[in-house]
Amino acid sequence: MTEVHFQAPLVIDNKDGWGPTEDTFQYKDMPYQPYSKGDQLGKIADWTGTIYGDKRNYNRYRSQFGVGVGMYQYIHEDDENTFQLVDSTRLPKPAYQKRTRFQQNRFRQQQNQNNRFAQMQKTFTGPQKKSKIMKNLEMDQMRQMRKWQKQFGNRTDPRQHQQAKQREPSVRVREDWQVIEEIPFTSLAKLSLPNVNEPEELSVWGSLEYYDKRYDRITTKSEKKLIMVNRLIHKITTTKDPVIRQICKTHGNVFATDAIISTLMCCTRSVYPWDIVVDKLGTRLFFDKREDSTIDMLTVNETANEPPPEDGTMDSAKNLGMEAVFINHNFAQQVLKMNEERYKFPNPNPFIQPDEENEAASVAYHYRSWNLGNNQKIVIRCEQDCVQIGPNGEEQFVNIKAINEWNSK
């Protein structure tokens, strides 16, 4: 076995200082720059030079030794060949912008003047009762504030910038039709009825199930799925109601259902088209709906800033409305104590056949009459969904509704 000999490399001893005394041959005639491993390399090309200043990363890519700064870093130089003069004259503002700025400054000056006067009043008189002059100034300030909000507040309302959509009318108006009267929505919004007394109960039909109060304790942590309840709910129009046909002989001169009347009362907020058929028989008026009417169809986000699309997608306005009807139909029956004894009224449900009693939903029909004055008495069929026991043991009739939400994002 041969021994391995260690051959020491050439070591140059520097007796006068630290470090080598002679340069290595392979690095001969090469430039030297102090380098630190903590330095960051600069960018090859900086395309954001026109947006940000060239010195925004000056300290980041700066060498720690301070020697040879920027030697390997890209430096943007201006190209004088592409230099062009730019017209820097200010464009005149439109007239409406000048008027707006003038009115805002005028309102601000008036407000500052009122504040200074109020401060002086408080300084010299102390915490006393407001004088008549002070009250008048406050009234003028509030009046000016309301005027300014009314004038400029609509400009920040996003609903003002929506594009009006052209929707097909529910009924084609022919040219040979004679317009008897046209009432704009603005006129309907100003209408008001005098004090209307409590309605007169003419008759009640149907039977109701009791509400299950366990659903009041449902939270997001204790959710309960919606189930399908196979029950019949009839949506009969006014003239096809056998009870109204009997009542019209002795009571009232205007007849309708709660769905039709509520549609008329909320017509100023409606967006989707609809129509109502009015039949006049002598001195009596019957408000009806068509067989394919959308009055009984619920809407989702109808008055929202971003309403559902009207195309054939899954989240179209029509599909969301059908989903809302399905949810309300099943939810109103699911929260009841089914298969238990019902609260029965003197008259049975007038719209079901004898073989449909087990499939009928919990619903009651109240036929009520209101005296509107001027010899106008309206009879309305009102629906109710269930009954519950109040805190004092009394029976309370309840309507159950569910709001279907839709996220446009």
What was the pLDDT predicted at 43? 63
- Rounded Cα distance between 90 and 233, Å, is 70
Mean confidence (pLDDT) of the chain = 78
What was the pLDDT predicted at 189? 80
Summarize the confidence of residues 145-157 as an average pLDDT. 62
Asked if 360 and 370 count as a contact pair (C-beta separation under 8 A), the reply is no
Q: What are the beta bridge partners of residue 257?
A: 381
Question: Higher-confidence residue: 316 or 158?
Answer: 316
**What's the pLDDT tens digit per position in 174-188?**
889 898 888 888 888
**What's the pLDDT tens digit per position in 230-288?**
888 888 999 999 999 999 999 999 999 999 999 998 888 888 889 999 999 999 999 99
**What's the pLDDT tens digit per position in 201-222?**
999 999 999 999 999 888 888 8
**What's the pLDDT tens digit per position in 25-72?**
666 777 766 666 666 666 666 666 555 555 555 555 555 545 455 555
Burial of 231 (0-12, 13-18, 19+ CB in 10 A): middle
Which amino acid belongs to residue 51? I
Buried b (16+ CB within 10 A) or exposed e, 290-301: eeebbbeebbbb
Which amino acid belongs to residue 206? G
Burial of 320 (0-12, 13-18, 19+ CB in 10 A): buried
- Rounded Cα distance between 112 and 137, Å, is 12
pTM for the model stands at 0.59
User: 269: which DSSP letter?
Assistant: G
